[in-house]
Amino acid sequence: MKAVILAAGVGSRLRPLTDTVPKALVPVGGATILARELAAFARAGVAEAIVVAGYRAAALRAAVRGAPLPVTVVENPRYETTQNIASLMCARDALDGAGFFQIDGDVLFDDAVLARLGATDAPVALAVDSLRALDDEAMKAVFAPGPGRRVARLGKELPPGAGAAAGLGESIGLARIGAAAAPRLFTAMAELLAEGGDQLYYESAYQRLIDAGLPFDAVEVGDLRWMEIDDHDDLRRAAALFA
């Protein structure tokens, strides 16, 4: 199992901290976001991490020297003009067909999140918090009716109350993509990019696979610590939560 960390973005809402480093290298309680992510993957026994860089890529390359697991850095040369679907696509060759954990480069989480994602045998498992109140910025997951928690729809554009009867949660930006599902995911992303979808989130490719019948399990993590760090308020909360 490998891991892909998407760390190409500028992180403009964290300026001036990100004037000279990417968001993933902003410190939280004495360690950078990236260092915390890499340490968690190492503790989980992940064989290799692939970091997708863009903004201030040289700083990322320097930061991963001496990491607690092997790290390959690849670059999205179009990071300034594309969304994260293009960044994830840049990791395809380095993955070499392996299953992988996929995470945004601004997410902190308890180790137990990875354990829960690894415990399901679904082709794709998404870490979802159905306990937190949702806002317009949340990547929302609507659950299909029936036993278990299968994801039926994903999107930021869904209103916070959408799908309440079937269940609703926030996809936290961390998923496990099984080895059998990985080629299908990259095919879906390639199709979307060929159709001019370089401004899409990778969740658009998820949705294409869900619509094609590939099971996506929603793994509840609302009882565990996690934080997506977008701005300075988030950074303060994360420092308290992960002190």
Given a cut of 90, whether residue 166 has pLDDT beyond it is no
Residue 114 is predicted with a pLDDT of 97
Predicted confidence (pLDDT) per residue in 25-66, tens digit: 999 988 999 999 999 999 999 999 999 999 999 999 999 999
pLDDT-based confidence at residue 145 (cuts at 50, 70, 90): confident
Residue 136 near residue 160, CB atoms below 8 Å: yes
Gap between the Cα atoms of 207 and 130, Å rounded: 19
Given a cut of 70, whether residue 21 has pLDDT beyond it is yes
Gap between the Cα atoms of 2 and 142, Å rounded: 27
Average pLDDT over residues 128-146: 85
49 three-class SS: strand
Residue 143 is predicted with a pLDDT of 87
Given a cut of 60, whether residue 200 has pLDDT beyond it is yes
Given a cut of 80, whether residue 148 has pLDDT beyond it is no
Average pLDDT over residues 4-27: 93
Provide the sign of the torsion angle of the four alpha carbons 42, 44, 48, 51, taken in this order: negative
Predicted confidence (pLDDT) per residue in 90-115, tens digit: 999 999 999 999 999 999 999 999 99
pTM of the complete model: 0.93
Given a cut of 70, whether residue 118 has pLDDT beyond it is yes
